[in-house]
Amino acid sequence: MRSPRNRMLPALVILASLTASSHAAEPLMLGSRWELFVDEYLIDSKQNVELKLHEPVRREIVLTTDKPWEGPTSAYFSVVQDGEKVRLYYRGSDGGPDHSESQFTCVAESKDGIHFTRPKLGLIEAGGTKENNVIWRGVESHNFAPFLDPNPSAKPDARFKALGGVKKPGKNWQYGETPGGLYAFASADGIHWRKLQKEPVITKGAFDSQNLAFWDAARNRYACFSRIFSAEDKLRAIQSSHSQDFLKWSTGVPHRYAEDAPKEHFYTSATIPCPTAPHLFLSFPKRFEPARRKIPEHSVKGVSDTIFMSSRDGGHWDRPFLQAWARPGLDPKNWTDRSNMVAYGIYDGGDGEWSLYISEHYRHADHRIRRLTVRQQGFASAHVGGGKHGEFTTHPIQFDGDSLQLNYASSAAGSIQIEIQDEKGQPIPGFAMQEMPELYGDELAATATWDSGSDLGALRGKTIRLRVKMIDADLYALRFTDKVK
């Protein structure tokens, strides 16, 4: 006969299970922020729905680096939008080693993200003249990566900040064991720059690539994503670190991926906070295959493309899409080493498209950078195609707002319908599936409407679920928000 203590065990196990289940079902606190379907963060269950990666559209060539102080190994472009002006920063190189002092940081400017010109700044002599667009000369120009700092505490003479620098050559330089590293810079206008201190601010890493930083508004700190070499896997990889003052940085932490993710060389990262959802990091690593040589007569091995991944903490990275986001394509010169590198930054021209930029023809005389466009927030979607019916249900959520907006697209025969459920999964009267007219079309911020209207104010702060039914449609993002007055 079991003792009273043993008879209690099943009940305790059940209670523990219910407690764990209750904890697991704690609602996601969405507030009024946009959530993009680049991962399955919102999705609890699904049927005939998949996450779909959307490739960018290749647009025009915006700059060819053919000036004497630029050249075919110009690289590491950064896009910085300052109001109506967008700047393109990049390395001008003499083709020498990474630690050469004869490297320049150049800048081009545009009002539309398409037509770029080189300002004649008169600051630094290059190519036998000061009538050029050079803003810095020295080893830090190897990978000088500026950004506009929206930190409310940023001083006026430090509206722009940047990191740049490499390790000096020597034994185990790639593991951070030689002098040098990343130096911190600041500028009031993005043109005239100064070092914030004589010593490098980050020293543990390889850094022979683009190392970028930005103000992480969602976490109230600066974030840096820099190049390392993985000693275990012998791979080019990425680490993250953070800082409160841009001078003292945390120890770098290598990116983490799912156990079944392939081990690949990530040459750059082009990591950014999503413009409309800054809690979400988007990354466009240049995936490098160093042993391949597609063009036999080319002098250097290696081919590359660009992939897409995302993170909600900067440490663990979701890779639901293992295919390329941007392939080399038909152009043979894009099948030579170190081409297809996405610039750091996004330009938003306010027309419903985001512009990114990708380098082409590295080590060729016509090395250039091309504009890419994507739908606003449209890197990936919850997708149902082929005339199928599909649906998914979200985890329990809470929100702040009185309406639901959707960034979606459908075919002429497709549609989206949404049912709002209580936390137990039961339809809430007035918001059942059959009470929402089919939504179809192509809109960036459509308001979901039921027969009773679109007002969700009575559900603000309550725990709900969304059941989303789709036919031949893509749902890119959603948010709860107050109605536009």
- Residue range 221-236, pLDDT digits in tens: 999 999 999 988 899 9
Triad 14, 17, 20: Cα angle to 5°: 150
The pLDDT tens digits for 290-317 are 999 999 999 999 999 999 999 999 999 9
Nearest to 393 by CA among 373, 359, 418: 418
SS3 state of residue 43: strand
What would the pLDDT profile of 401-446 be if each residue is shown by its tens digit? 999 999 999 999 999 999 999 999 999 999 999 999 999 999 999 9
Q: Is the pLDDT of residue 245 over 70?
A: yes
Q: What is the pLDDT of residues 439-479, one digit of tens each?
A: 999 999 999 999 999 999 999 999 999 999 999 999 999 99
pLDDT at 28 over 90: yes
pLDDT band at 32 (very low <50, low <70, confident <90, very high): very high
Topology annotation, domain 26-54+380-481: Jelly Rolls (2.60.120)
Looking only at the bridges linking them, the beta strands covering 353-360 and 347-348 are antiparallel
d(CA 298, CA 300): 6
The DSSP letter of residue 275 is: T
Predicted TM-score (pTM) of the model is: 0.93
> Which 3 state secondary structure label does DSSP give 315?
coil
- Tell me which CATH homologous superfamily contains domain 57-375: Glycosyl hydrolase domain; family 43 (2.115.10.20)
Q: What is the pLDDT of residues 330-341, one digit of tens each?
A: 999 999 999 999
3-state secondary structure of 319: coil
Contacts of 181 (CB under 8 A, 6+ apart): 165, 166, 167, 200, 201, 202, 203, 204, 205, 207
Long-range pairs for 180-185: beta carbons < 8 A, 24 or more residues apart:
180/99, 180/139, 180/207, 181/205, 181/207, 182/207, 182/211, 182/224, 182/226, 183/140, 184/246, 184/247, 185/140, 185/144, 185/146, 185/161
Write out the two tokens for 182: 């990343």
Return the domain boundaries, the chain. 26-54+380-481, 57-375
What ranges make up the beta strands (E) of 99-252? 104-110, 134-137, 145-148, 160-164, 183-187, 193-195, 212-216, 221-230, 235-243
